[in-house]
Structure 1
Amino acid sequence: MSNEAELRGYLRSDGRKGIRNVVVVAYLVECAHHVGREIIANFRGGDVHLIGFPGCFPNEYAQKMMERLCTHPNVGAVLLLSLGCESFNKFSLSRIVAESGRPVQTLTIQNNGGTLSTIEDGTHWVSEQLDALAGAETVPMRLDELMIGTVCGGSDGTSGLTGNPAVGRAFDRLVDAGATCIFEETGELIGCEEIMAARALTPELGDELRAAVDKAARYYATLGYGSFAPGNADGGLSTIEEKSMGAYAKSGSSKISGIIKPGDIPPAGGLFLMDVVPDGEVRFGFPNISDNAEIVEMIASGCHMTLFVTGRGSVSGSAISPVVKVCANPDTYRKLAGDMDVDAGRILEDRATLEDVGSEIVDLIKDVARGKLTKSEHLGHREFILTYKSFEPIGPACLPSAA
């Protein structure tokens, strides 16, 4: 696949390039959420995205995630909204954003006259930033500078036959071109650990892959339930292993270059597994309370866009980075065509092959990177959710390509 400069991106100070140039409004506690909603309501249809952390108590994972999100390549400016008495370290976050070269402003509601005056001041600041970003220039961008994530949700019996393997074909082509691809999640890969270990770049990485899946199995056993929903059964899936094989298919067939955790940025191109299950004792409940949480973690690790495979259907999008929805089930596509970007269910009806749909996905990725809006972007979907978690740093065996 040609790697010529066929895309355009917004160059950031760390050398990464963004495919969007959005203004982020970030609330640092739930008490500031309403003010954020009111500010972005003044920019309906504009590139102003609301994100935030609802908790009042500190959490290293949430701090890291917000730092990564606010300095994502697709972000051009950041407004931070604080109530004033929360424990989130807004000073550190503001400093990190400023050091990245992005304009940043912090408004503290308790010191800023309350709700109405903070909305007014925030709206004025965002308007100024939109005017400034409107004239931003782009630079050439290659396919090997893209980072693409994939998740699956609302899975059914068709997901592992069409949508997931079609994304796997697209991933193989992207990895061959030098791009970075990330798949997840260990709780939906139970039973696939040996197959993944055989694809690991090194034996040591293979051991880490096994350990990550074992951790997920223990975590879910402690909770008393796993990543298998009634909707999965209604859609024709029978066991977590069957669901896992379908979810695994979206990783393609390339060598696995490493394991990362949410907020870790892969050091080079290749295929990476994201381990989203918290480390240590079960403290914060279900690892990902919705598909949106998984997408946010992909974005925090640098993904320019996320491929979302669904059989039963989803209408989710995301703040900051586009979501491309790949529909596995032809009946679902016919019902929800206005929300779906790719009809992978054509494969079941002999209207396309896996290779056809894989190529279509790669072409769509290029178009989205050039500025084409996905269905969720066009509809205004900007879902976002961030909760408490706890992770330990990854070990050297997890990233052999960085050694």
Structure 2
Amino acid sequence: MNDRSSLPALAGYLRDDGRKGIRNVVVVIYTVECAHHVARLVVNTFHGQPVHLIGFPGCYPNDYADRMMKRLATHPNVGAALIVALGCESFNRRGLEETVAASGRPVHTITIQENRGTRTSVADGVEWVRWALESLAAQPRVPMRLDELVVATICGGSDSTSGITANPAVGVAFDRLVGAGATCIFEETGELVGCEFHMKRRAATPELGDAIVRCVDKAARYYTVLGHGSFAPGNADGGLTTQEEKSLGAYAKSGASPIAGILKPGDQPATGGLYLLDVVPDGEVRFGFPNISDNAEIVELLSCGAHITLFTTGRGSVVGSAIAPVIKVCANPATYERLAEDMDVNAGRILSGQASLQQVGDEIVDLVARVANGEETCSEALGHQEFILTYKQFDASGPAVPGCHPLKAA
């Protein structure tokens, strides 16, 4: 359904690459765990202001982490970046600084070993961030079209209500957003085992359909080697009985629109439409579990340009995210009652007959527009800025990924 006229006008911050952000965040980036404390002290000085902490804990280099950090530091919601390095780590801080500078954003690097240690580095970082905030405060918002918006979805803490309330309600919202020209991204292949042929039938081309099946097969092999699927004790405690049942519930978030392409972390959708994000590493199994928490998945969605993430939960999750707002869609009415301050949408009303799937889906779309225009989500109001980035390996995207701009290695 194409209903652009029924949605409110949006406004965003124009970036040099033509994309527009719905937030104007200063990111403070640590390039190794040894610089984490200094970076956090800088951020803590600006409590309640749009200054967010992100970083990579590892000392050894990793192409995936390098690509991810470059994408995140130039995310449309980011207006400026402070890089905090220790000095002897292997992360390519100069390459990151050059990428951010080339994007037209203010950027500054502090190297602790060259800057007389902790106290001086914190003081210098605070001074620069204060300047960056003043600079960004003068930046006007400009008109933004819905087809410039990227909306992602994940599920976490799923239970027996997730697949019949929150997840299909997000599917309704996705169909409406895609129909209005927006870009929507769902994931992850490890939670879609058994649904690959449903997705294949919705693929834009036969080649893409085959690629989707291969992605899910890869995920199934990966989890088989690990000896543990994407099914947690909390899922069972919440009434889910099998991986297949959980997969069908997760699949419901994607709605019914045609699938336009497959993304890998850091790929940028070139056009609007619905995309599947493959988060399971390529090659041999050597990095452990594909994502060690829901926030790792949110980060990968952000790396693909997501302005907003729709997070469905039945058991309840209170996490948010650095850089981009998270909208919590609660599946279980009892959970919503306990955690109302952390939840944005009560999809559990569907169970009691107080609302239909269509009504909740429309409510989600309306909230997406309001959040895009500056309204805070619950997680933002509570100060949640969770972030995690680990080691992975992905091959370059191939011809079966139409309409995407893969990020080439620096």
Assess same fold via TM > 0.5. yes
Point out where structure 2 has 5 or more consecutive residues left out of the alignment.
Answer: 406-410
Q: Which residue of 1 aligns with 2:28?
A: 25
Q: 2:195 aligns with which of 192, 196, 208?
A: 192
Identity %: 67
Question: In the alignment, does 2:41 pair up with 1:35?
Answer: no
Partner of residue 262, structure 1: 265
CA distance in 1, matches of 2:403, 2:49: 41
Kept in 2, the 8 Å contact 1:262–1:301? The answer is: yes
8 A Cα contact 1:10 1:21, kept in partner? yes
Contact 2:271 2:403 in 1 (8 A): no
Q: Aligned match of 2:90 in 71, 82, 87?
A: 87
Matched, 1:153 2:156: yes
1:2 aligned to which of 1, 4, 23: 4
Number of the residue aligned with 2:185:
182
Cα distance in structure 1, aligned partners of 2:352 and 2:44? 43
- Structure 2 residue corresponding to 1:54, chosen from 57, 62, 70: 57
Contact 1:23 1:129 in 2 (8 A): yes
Matching of residue 16 in structure 1 with residue 19 in structure 2:
yes
Q: Within 2, Cα distance between the matches of 1:400 and 1:337?
A: 39
CA distance in 2, matches of 1:375, 1:306: 13
Q: What is the 5 A alignment of 1:321-360?
A: 321-360=324-363
User: AA paired with 1:151?
Assistant: I
SS of residue in 2 equivalent to 1:272: strand
SS in 1 for 2:390: coil
Q: Does 1:105 align with 2:108?
A: yes
Look up the match of 1:96.
99
Shift of the 340–118 alpha-carbon distance from structure 1 to 2, 3 Å rule, reads same
The corresponding residue for 2:383 is: 380
Q: How does 1:305-320 map to 2 (within 5 A)?
A: 305-320=308-323
Letter in 2 for 1:24: V
Q: How is 1:94-243 mapped onto 2 (pairs within 5 angstroms)?
A: 94-243=97-246
Q: CA deviation at 1:313?
A: 0.1
**RMSD across aligned C-alpha pairs, in angstroms?**
1.0
Partner of 1:295: 298
Q: List structure 1 runs of 4+ shifted beyond 4 angstroms.
A: none
Question: For 2:164, what is the secondary structure of its paired residue?
Answer: coil
CA distance in 2, matches of 1:297, 1:53: 13
Amino acid corresponding to residue 196 of structure 2 in structure 1 = E
The yes-or-no answer on 1:399 pairing with 2:402 is yes
- Give CA deviations for 1:190-231 in whole Å, capped at 9, x if unaligned: 000000000000000000000000000000000010100000
* 8 Å contact kept, 1:155–1:312: yes
State the distance in 2 between where 1:124 and 1:398 align: 44
Given that 1:205 and 1:400 are in contact with CA atoms closer than 8 Å, whether structure 2 keeps it comes out as no
List runs of 5+ in structure 1 lacking aligned partners.
none
The separation in 1 between residues aligned to 2:80 and 2:236, in whole angstroms, is 44
Q: Aligned letter for 1:23?
A: V
Q: Shift in Å at residue 400 of structure 1?
A: 5.8
> For 2:197, what is the secondary structure of its paired residue?
helix
For residue 348 of structure 1, what is the amino acid of its counterpart?
Answer: L
SS at match of 2:269: coil
Mapped to 2, the partners of 1:151 and 1:109 lie a distance apart of: 37
Deviations 1:163-196 (A, max 9, x none): 0000000000000011000000000000000000
Q: Following TM superposition, by how much is the alpha carbon of 1:401 offset from its aligned partner in structure 2, in angstroms?
A: 7.8
Which letter does structure 2 place at the counterpart of 1:2? Answer: R
Tell me the number of residue pairs that the alignment of Structure 1 and Structure 2 aligns: 402
For residues 403 and 9 of structure 2, what CA distance do their matches in structure 1 show? 30
AA at the equivalent of 2:18: G
In 1, Cα distance between the equivalents of 2:268 and 2:151?
A: 12
Q: Are 1:371 and 2:380 counterparts?
A: no
Contact 1:144 1:179 in 2 (8 A): yes
Distance 2:286 2:92 in 1: 22
SS in 2 for 1:178: coil
Residue 332 of structure 1 aligns with an amino acid whose one-letter code is: T
Structure 2 residue identity aligned to 1:276? V
For residues 342 and 140 of structure 1, the distance between their equivalents in structure 2, rounded to whole angstroms, comes to: 27
- Please give the secondary structure, in 2, of the residue aligned with 1:237: coil
State the alpha-carbon separation in 1 of the partners of residues 372 and 8 from structure 2. 12
DSSP 3-state at the match of 1:117: helix
